[in-house]
Amino acid sequence: MTSNNGFEELFHRHEKNPILTAADWPYPVHTVFNAGATRLDDGTTLLLCRVEDRRGHSHLCAARSANGVDGWVIDREPTLRPDMKNYPEEIWGIEDPRITYVNELGKYAIAYTAFSRGGPGVALALTEDFLHFERCGLIMQPEDKDAALLPRRIDGNFALIHRPVTDSGAHIWISYSPDLRNWGGHKLVLQARRGAWWDANRVGLSPPLIETPRGWLMLYHGVRQTPGGCLYRLGVALLDLNKPEQCLLRGEPWIFGPEAPYERNGDVGDVTFPCGYTLGDDGDRINLYYGAADTSVALATGSIRQLLNWLDEHGIA
């Protein structure tokens, strides 16, 4: 189906958007956005939402739903709070969780942003039930964010996609670890483009990688800085299955960006920021959960097959 002024539409907004807002919360909160997502054993969709309070600090709160659209049951109090006493790097809150189920551990790994005095860094926590959490602490020092663990080892090591910021820009990297504590083997995966590009200067992983027989699909955000503010849009690339630092294809145009009123207006307007997805029972449908304008959680659906076909047509090696 094509619409959108002739551009092929790869993600379709849900008619019930935004699916979660502060008004749904069982305790006072300012905004709810940038949610990690997973499907539990019984098929329940769990969103781990970033919740901002009226100090401007964020914590994480779980919402569960049978169909992933409505009927959300939200934890009565914060599910994972910053723990400044034991993890001083969480002093200004914890943000933007990405969830990966790691078969080998029988646990979910949550990579999230710890907002420290030194800037944002990447922290990791493990859980079996989203009730009890085992913190691994800061695994990438500031300035670094937009991280997710891969669901299995690559060549014997765990692998983490993340986005450090250096003088040369904000690009997507991968790092490896034998034990989730010690990290090395850092490699550049995808560079921000330059100049007028929609993804110039600043890119970052959006949800965790999506495994397909042809490679890892990576949905990533690009940030366009304009005199009127930043525009956060989504692009797609395909990474090699056994060597994810090798980018096989990268789309030129963005595939999803702020259009709907709840994406254009909010605390930070013109932001679509996915941190999680779940797959439909057919193994093809992608339910993409994204933060809209740093204010609410919205849902759009796409198809793995269609994304791969689109990359064949619009991707460059």
Tokens 């439909």 correspond to 280
By C-beta, is 202 or 250 nearer to ligand BMA?
202
User: Does 82 sit near ligand BMA (CB under 6 A)?
Assistant: no
- 């409505």: which residue's tokens? 70
CA distance 98 to 113: 9
Among 52, 89, 96, 270, the residue binding ligand BMA under the rule CB under 6 A is 96
Residue pair 210/217 in contact by the 8 Å Cβ criterion: yes
Residue 316 C-beta: closest distance to ligand BMA, Å:
26
Smaller CB separation from ligand BMA, 75 or 270 = 270
The span from the CA of 232 to the CA of 258, in Å, is 7
Does 208 interact with ligand BMA (rule: CB under 6 A)? Answer: no
CB of 271 to ligand BMA, least distance (A): 5
Q: Which two tokens stand for residue 115?
A: 């907002």
Block residue for tokens 């259009």: 259
Shortest spacing between CB 34 and ligand BMA, in angstroms: 5
In this chain, which stretch among 64-72, 169-177, 178-186, 265-273 interacts with ligand BMA, using CB under 6 A? 265-273
Binding mask 221-240 for ligand BMA (x = CB under 6 A): -----------x--------
**Least distance to ligand BMA, CB of residue 40, Å:** 25
Near ligand BMA by CB under 6 A: residue from 17, 31, 34, 116:
34
Report how far residue 104's alpha carbon sits from residue 149's, in angstroms, rounded to the nearest whole number: 13
Q: Which of 75, 89, 90, 95 lies at the binding interface for ligand BMA (CB under 6 A)? A: 95
Which is closer to ligand BMA, CB of 245 or CB of 294? 294
Reduce the DSSP state of residue 311 to 3 states and report it.
helix
Location of structure tokens 């078969």? 103
Rounded-to-integer distance, Cα 137 and Cα 90, Å: 9
From candidates 273, 277, 289, 310, binder to ligand BMA by CB under 6 A: 273
Using CB under 6 A as the binding rule, whether residue 291 contacts ligand BMA is answered as: yes
User: In this complex, which beta carbon is closest to ligand BMA, that of residue 55 or of residue 85?
Assistant: 55
Residue 50 C-beta: closest distance to ligand BMA, Å? 7
> Coil, strand, or helix at residue 72?
coil
Which residue blocks in the chain are alpha helix, DSSP H?
Answer: 261-264, 304-314
Distances (CA, A) of 250 to 187, 189, 227, 237: 17, 11, 27, 4
Q: Which stretch binds ligand BMA (CB under 6 A): 12-20, 79-87, 148-156, 267-275?
A: 267-275
Verify binding: residue 271, ligand BMA, rule CB under 6 A. yes
Region class of 96: left (phi > 0), else alpha (psi between -120 and 50), else beta: left
- Cross-strand bridge partners of residue 110: 99, 125
Q: Which residues bind ligand BMA (CB under 6 A)?
A: 34, 95-96, 232, 268, 271, 273, 291, 294
